[in-house]
Structure 1
């Protein structure tokens, strides 16, 4: 299965604990990803949280499609990570590494996008990169 790895590092003027707490809550991802409009079916299972995320795509500005994706979320004091399984053969592994630095937190956002073929991987990686870059600004605005 082809894959692409995307990394983006940015600074937020808040503590690693505040970022970890925010990123550990499924509800925080509504709007944190510009595509995510809702989360539902949240289940805590030991160290993992599993939930369904609703991503809204618009095609040609008129046709809307709500993509229901299964998300697994795990966190430690310095990381938040997990997996996303999307219908259509796209999977993402994600990790936020949180390091105290310069009166705030350096966030290393890493995404590994997997897809069953090259063209789908190209589309999914392009969308994932757009979301990743937007998320840095949104997270900085929310907590910085």
Structure 2
């Protein structure tokens, strides 16, 4: 469980953990939280590439990793991973709450967040399993 918590707490681990995140930069570690910029590569209509610079704040406790994501486009995402030892492994509850200023933007952001969430379990198993 500790290995998974440490992995989820490290900004560099999120490159590839989310299929959209291609880099992290400007990492600032504080006593209770870590802040960094995540480079999220978006594609529109499969043709137009856009690198979205999002601000991320991460906090970690022995059983959780949680944080906030703020996109310059007005999308915010709050997330929490709750870790529980189970059957010789670790069960992860992955909760996302998406906020946006306009309904079409909210729908797009929620779909992308769900795609990332569904891919994340497989990535974690392949990295740490």
What TM bracket, shorter-length normalisation? over 0.9
Match of 2:56 in 1: 71
Residue 60 of structure 1: how far off its partner (Å): 2.5
User: How big is the alpha-carbon RMSD for the aligned residues of Structure 1 and Structure 2?
Assistant: 0.7
State how 1:128-139 maps to structure 2 within 5 Å: 128-139=113-124
Measure the CA separation in 1 of the matches of 2:72 and 2:40: 11
**CA offsets per residue over residues 40-73 of structure 1, 9 Å max, x none?**
0000121100000000011222211000000000
Match of 2:96 in 1: 111
* Number of corresponding residues: 129
Residue 143 of structure 1: how far off its partner (Å): 0.7
Q: Are residues 1:39 and 2:30 paired? A: no
Which structure carries more strand by proportion?
A: 1
Measure the CA separation in 1 of the matches of 2:107 and 2:47: 23
Q: Any idea what SS the aligned residue of 1:77 has?
A: coil
Measure the CA separation in 1 of the matches of 2:111 and 2:45: 17
Q: Any idea what SS the aligned residue of 1:42 has?
A: strand
Measure the CA separation in 2 of the matches of 1:112 and 1:59: 23
Once superposed, which parts of structure 1, at least 4 consecutive aligned residues long, lie more than 6 Å away?
Answer: none
Q: Any idea what SS the aligned residue of 1:64 has?
A: strand
Q: Any idea what SS the aligned residue of 2:110 has?
A: helix
